[in-house]
Amino acid sequence: MAADPRFHRAGAALTLAEAAAAAGGELVGGDPARVVSGVGPLDGARPEDVSFLDNRRYLPKLAETQAAAVVLGRDFAGRVPEGVAAIVVADPKLGFGRVARRLFPQPAPRPGIHPTAVVDPAATIGDGVEIGPYAVIEAGAEIGAGCVIGPHAVVGEGVVLGEGCRIGAHASLSHCIAGRFVVLHPGARIGQEGFGFSVTPEGRFETMPQLGRVLLGDAVEVGANACVDRGSQGDTVLGMGTRLDNLVQIGHNVKAGRACVLVSQVGIAGSTVLGDGVQMGGQSGTSGHLTIGDRAQVAAQSGVMSDVGPGEVVGGSPAWPMRETLRAFAALRRLAGRPASKA
Amino acid sequence: MAADPRFHRAGAALTLAEAAAAAGGELVGGDPARVVSGVGPLDGARPEDVSFLDNRRYLPKLAETQAAAVVLGRDFAGRVPEGVAAIVVADPKLGFGRVARRLFPQPAPRPGIHPTAVVDPAATIGDGVEIGPYAVIEAGAEIGAGCVIGPHAVVGEGVVLGEGCRIGAHASLSHCIAGRFVVLHPGARIGQEGFGFSVTPEGRFETMPQLGRVLLGDAVEVGANACVDRGSQGDTVLGMGTRLDNLVQIGHNVKAGRACVLVSQVGIAGSTVLGDGVQMGGQSGTSGHLTIGDRAQVAAQSGVMSDVGPGEVVGGSPAWPMRETLRAFAALRRLAGRPASKA
Amino acid sequence: MAADPRFHRAGAALTLAEAAAAAGGELVGGDPARVVSGVGPLDGARPEDVSFLDNRRYLPKLAETQAAAVVLGRDFAGRVPEGVAAIVVADPKLGFGRVARRLFPQPAPRPGIHPTAVVDPAATIGDGVEIGPYAVIEAGAEIGAGCVIGPHAVVGEGVVLGEGCRIGAHASLSHCIAGRFVVLHPGARIGQEGFGFSVTPEGRFETMPQLGRVLLGDAVEVGANACVDRGSQGDTVLGMGTRLDNLVQIGHNVKAGRACVLVSQVGIAGSTVLGDGVQMGGQSGTSGHLTIGDRAQVAAQSGVMSDVGPGEVVGGSPAWPMRETLRAFAALRRLAGRPASKA
């Protein structure tokens, strides 16, 4: 359960006082000078680990934990067993994440260009950039300071990456301007031609030139094997902080605002616009040319076929306001003879 | 909004007369000698650009456009503002695409084999082929004239590509015979072993050798990270002109006819047969061993579990004729207390 | 229809007696010394081929077959046409697969490290390993005897592969311990950071360090472009023999038992636990933190949102016991005015 040192390099150990400070919380009980060096879940933590509790369903595990300290909310601070310290915070998951990050720092870039990387002379490489084996950086590309480009990644002609981006193994970018701290997970595909064509009178498909770009805001993250197509005459845009999980599809000309969360296998059809903070559950999808308002929430597997207003919560396929969808499920359940006590 | 010259290389400028000819349309108003050099959407076009109108909902944008000319249908030709020429065509999107292609020609192959490409001596490379960095061409592969093989692409043993194919970065092909002008977008996976196994009496899975191939007709296009498995004893076949969007899955032994359109994240289970011109909306799927007739249309997110006749339009999961599916949704809506005026 | 020798290398021919022995069956009729060298479907088999029948719907094809012998169950043994031998087995598909495997042996590894492969000096390579062009093996990786690493594959720092694994072109592994005979199809992504983050009081997303691993049991197979994320504090685990089809997504901390079958485009959300022998149909999905019991069956496109007991069969979205789901569909059908004779 502890972080396997085969894969995860620990940084310096911390005292409980330092751990509490990292978490932004208050140490209650425990020796502030006691040393911790790892993290683990409640039921797997060792005496040198810090753990966390963010859901009352795990209280039984809290009672049995061997962790040195547990990051948790004030409500449960009194429930820690004998010999275990509490680190009291407003948001246990966030606080614990910060302790974990202090104990296991993100590996820093190892500046340098692998001898096998192909870097066009007309590309610009910033300070402290790490470029891995067999990466390909094409003419006119601009790689910002401190970027990490993984093995086999392809950064296409003219692509711009702001500082601190991390491009995973086998990812590919073309026709893209990315801000700072953008993360592409392995196999992500950015900037390729979207699905745009006309039908000739003879019935042949004729591709419409896709003359736009992809714009990725600061801190955008794109999951493994996810795909973001470039625009046709304008741009496909993902706003600052937006995160796409694995295998997500973003069609051409889509605009997403800031801090949107698209869970795995979501599909957004072309020209749909998402506001800020839109959340889409796994395997959900939208038709094209729709508007999904700020902070709307779309349930997993939903099929959104009409506009959704700001803050609305929708579900089902076609997607309706959740209240109506739940009533529809309840009605279906009655028709199916299913006990009312089940979901 | 204009095509960013960082990514899109403009060809020679055109006069309005030449643009109209490229579009296959009639120039109405405007100086035939006026020069245009770019394209853009109605609300982003500059005075040197051509734009298009293919939907009356954009008429307000037409009224405000700064474009030199707008490609549109006869019905709206009289609505172009002062100083803007009309290029009148039957199909504005098709006509505009042709102007765009003249102004931004598809980059021609740059013939030559990158020094880092690994090309087996027993592979055959046609005239004018471009092979990019770290591409791998295995023994017995035959690459037709004018093909473009992107960085890191793998063309497996014995694979045949007709002339003019474009294989995107990181794509891989094995066990495949492809016609002319086939396009694989980045990360497409063609020819791998399909999902075929038996269960032994002891409960182990034993793979069934997949001894077939993938046959791709002329002008087939496969989206980014889409997958097409080879046949088990026969072939998996995509007919001429068929296009798969990103993240589509084609199971072993599937046969698709000509000019089918499978939108992103569609899944076709093994041995299902699609006729010509079948259209499947995003995230829809079919069971295996079905027959979907010519020009059938399957709505997004549908689950097809029984045969569909030619020209039928189906939707829902399980998929029914759309008329019935819409009645079912209407009935559900009433049961849910949802206003009849909503979709 | 026969295995194309361009792609499939035949081994030695067999006598019918040897073929029957390979199938584990009884030769009925036919000359035991007759030689067969290939396989094919009933309607495409040539006189030197073996075929099989595993479904009565193909009896008309059996009547017309030109195969030398057909692997089939005892019920149909008397139905083989004149001049065609029967190889009688309990499981025709399994038996036929074994004949096919004898006639077309899996290509053996060609031991050796391609000169272009980048193998870290601190990696350990077992006997008889084949490493292809541009593969990257990072420090501390341990590759077991007889593994085959395809072109461009990346085996990350510290990754352990048991003997006999086959890693497809462009696949990538990090943070992973794999058993023996694990198969990754092209483009599979193992071990990347999962979708885990907190939201700061300012509304920013802050990544939760993902300090776990992926554990793959013996004989696990992962489809093309499928993704398996590593655990956050614990591990993501796929039990022995479990198979994932193409484009499947496994979220962080998921535990799957032995011999599970996840068809293409399935998505399992984080921390869900699958027992042994769970079967999930194409495009189905589960929420997170659920328990799906041994040998449960989930229909294609289902959305599982609550626990499923061992042996249960569920379908629909939300997924209910299949009996109830079918009643719900029947009720909907009546409401939609759809004939009762249709599915």
Read off the pLDDT of residues B181-214 as tens digits, 9 standing for 90 and up.
Answer: 999 999 999 999 999 999 999 999 999 999 999 9
Say yes or no to pLDDT of B343 above 60.
no
Interface test with C, best of B120, B200, B227, B302 (most C CBs within 10 A): B227
Q: Residue B337: its pLDDT value, please?
A: 82
Question: What's B240's DSSP letter?
Answer: T
User: Shortest Cα distance from A211 to chain B (angstroms)?
Assistant: 5
Where residue C337 falls among pLDDT bands split at 50, 70, 90? confident
Interface test with A, best of B99, B301, B317, B342 (most A CBs within 10 A): B301
Say yes or no to pLDDT of B335 above 70.
yes
Average pLDDT over residues B106-128: 96
Assess A169–C contact: CB distance below 8 Å, yes or no. yes
Assess B197–C contact: CB distance below 8 Å, yes or no. yes
Assess C333–B contact: CB distance below 8 Å, yes or no. yes
Where residue C93 falls among pLDDT bands split at 50, 70, 90? very high
User: Shortest Cα distance from C147 to chain B (angstroms)?
Assistant: 18
- The answer to whether the CB of C299 falls within 8 A of the CB of C321 is no
Say yes or no to pLDDT of B14 above 70.
yes
Q: Residue C128: its pLDDT value, please?
A: 97
DSSP string, A71-115: EE-GGGGGGPPTT-EEEE-S-HHHHHHHHHHHHSPPPPP--EE-T
Say yes or no to pLDDT of B1 above 70.
no
CB pairs below 8 Å between A and B: how many? 178
Q: Residue B112: its pLDDT value, please?
A: 98
Assess B269–C contact: CB distance below 8 Å, yes or no. yes
Whether B224 sits inside 8 A of A192 (CB atoms) is yes
Say yes or no to pLDDT of B336 above 60.
yes
**Cβ-Cβ contacts under 8 Å, B96 against chain A:** 208
- The answer to whether the CB of C69 falls within 8 A of the CB of C85 is yes
Where residue A335 falls among pLDDT bands split at 50, 70, 90? confident
Where residue C269 falls among pLDDT bands split at 50, 70, 90? very high
C111, burial (CB in 10 Å: exposed 0-12, middle 13-18, buried 19+):
middle
Look up B252 and say whether it is catalytic.
yes
**Cβ-Cβ contacts under 8 Å, A131 against chain B:** none
Query: Could you tell me which residues are beta bridge partners of residue A161?
Result: A143, A178
- The answer to whether the CB of C283 falls within 8 A of the CB of C304 is no
Question: How far is it, in rounded angstroms, from Cα B161 to Cα C175?
Answer: 37
Q: What is the amino acid identity at position B219?
A: A
Say yes or no to pLDDT of B237 above 60.
yes
Q: Cα dist. A288→A254, A266, A285, A307 in Å?
A: 9, 13, 10, 10
Q: Residue A222: its pLDDT value, please?
A: 98
Q: Cα dist. A2→A20, B55, B236, B248, C175 in Å?
A: 20, 59, 46, 38, 13
Question: How far is it, in rounded angstroms, from Cα C263 to Cα C89?
Answer: 27
Question: How far is it, in rounded angstroms, from Cα A12 to Cα C286?
Answer: 39
Q: Which residue of B has its CA nearest to C302?
A: B317
**C175-225 pLDDT tens trace:** 999 999 999 999 999 999 999 999 999 999 999 999 999 999 999 999 999
Q: Which chains touch A (3 or more CB pairs under 8 A)?
A: B, C
Where residue B34 falls among pLDDT bands split at 50, 70, 90? very high
Say yes or no to pLDDT of A59 above 70.
yes
Q: Which of C90, C79, C22, C82 has the alpha carbon at shortest distance from C50?
A: C22
User: Shortest Cα distance from A307 to chain B (angstroms)?
Assistant: 11
C92, burial (CB in 10 Å: exposed 0-12, middle 13-18, buried 19+):
buried
Q: Which residue of C has its CA nearest to B156?
A: C7
The answer for C295, left when phi > 0, alpha when psi is -120 to 50, beta otherwise, is: left
Average pLDDT over residues A157-183: 98
- Strands of the sheet containing B213-216, edge to edge, are B124-125, B142-143, B160-161, B176-178, B213-216, B235-238, B255-256, B273-274, B291-292
Question: How far is it, in rounded angstroms, from Cα A335 to Cα B302?
Answer: 22
Helix (H) or strand (E) holding A68, with range, is: none
C109, burial (CB in 10 Å: exposed 0-12, middle 13-18, buried 19+):
middle
Query: Could you tell me which residues are beta bridge partners of residue B205?
Result: B199
Whether A247 sits inside 8 A of C227 (CB atoms) is yes
**C11-38 pLDDT tens trace:** 999 999 999 999 999 999 999 999 999 9
User: Shortest Cα distance from C114 to chain A (angstroms)?
Assistant: 14
Q: Which domains does chain C have, with CATH numbers?
A: 14-103 (3.40.1390.10), 112-324 (2.160.10.10)
Q: Residue A343: its pLDDT value, please?
A: 55
Say yes or no to pLDDT of B338 above 90.
no
Where residue B240 falls among pLDDT bands split at 50, 70, 90? very high
Question: How far is it, in rounded angstroms, from Cα B291 to Cα B275?
Answer: 8
Q: Residue A336: its pLDDT value, please?
A: 83
**B255-293 pLDDT tens trace:** 999 999 999 999 999 999 999 999 999 999 999 999 999
Q: Which of C205, C282, C191 has the alpha carbon at shortest distance from C245?
A: C282
Say yes or no to pLDDT of A49 above 60.
yes
Question: How far is it, in rounded angstroms, from Cα B32 to Cα A329?
Answer: 62
Q: What is the mean pLDDT of chain C?
A: 96
Average pLDDT over residues A275-284: 98
Assess B246–A contact: CB distance below 8 Å, yes or no. yes
- Cα B228 to the chain's mean position, in Å? 14
The end-to-end CA distance of chain C, in Å, is 34
Q: Which of B197, B190, B288 has the alpha carbon at shortest distance from B238?
A: B190
Say yes or no to pLDDT of C66 above 80.
yes
Question: How far is it, in rounded angstroms, from Cα C297 to Cα C187?
Answer: 27
Whether B205 sits inside 8 A of C241 (CB atoms) is yes
Where residue B300 falls among pLDDT bands split at 50, 70, 90? very high
The structure tokens listed for B329 are 């949704």
Assess A152–B contact: CB distance below 8 Å, yes or no. yes
Assess B204–C contact: CB distance below 8 Å, yes or no. yes
Where residue A104 falls among pLDDT bands split at 50, 70, 90? very high
Assess A272–B contact: CB distance below 8 Å, yes or no. no
Assess C322–B contact: CB distance below 8 Å, yes or no. no
Q: What is the amino acid identity at position C77?
A: A
Q: What is the amino acid identity at position A85?
A: A
Q: What is the mean pLDDT of chain B?
A: 96
Whether A225 sits inside 8 A of C285 (CB atoms) is no
Beta strands in B211-281 (DSSP E): 213-216, 221-222, 227-228, 235-238, 243-244, 249-250, 255-256, 261-262, 267-268, 273-274, 279-280
A82, burial (CB in 10 Å: exposed 0-12, middle 13-18, buried 19+):
exposed
| CB nearest A300 (choices: C204, C229, C287) | C287
**What's the predicted TM-score (pTM) here?**
0.97
Average pLDDT over residues A175-192: 98
Q: Residue A316: its pLDDT value, please?
A: 96
Average pLDDT over residues A181-202: 97
Q: Residue A1: its pLDDT value, please?
A: 61
Q: Residue C80: its pLDDT value, please?
A: 95
By DSSP bridging, strand A154-155 and strand A172-173 are parallel
- The answer to whether the CB of A50 falls within 8 A of the CB of A66 is no
Say yes or no to pLDDT of A2 above 80.
no
**Cβ-Cβ contacts under 8 Å, C318 against chain A:** 329, 343
Average pLDDT over residues A188-204: 96
Interface test with B, best of C37, C246, C284 (most B CBs within 10 A): C246
**C225-262 pLDDT tens trace:** 999 999 998 899 999 999 999 999 999 999 999 999 99
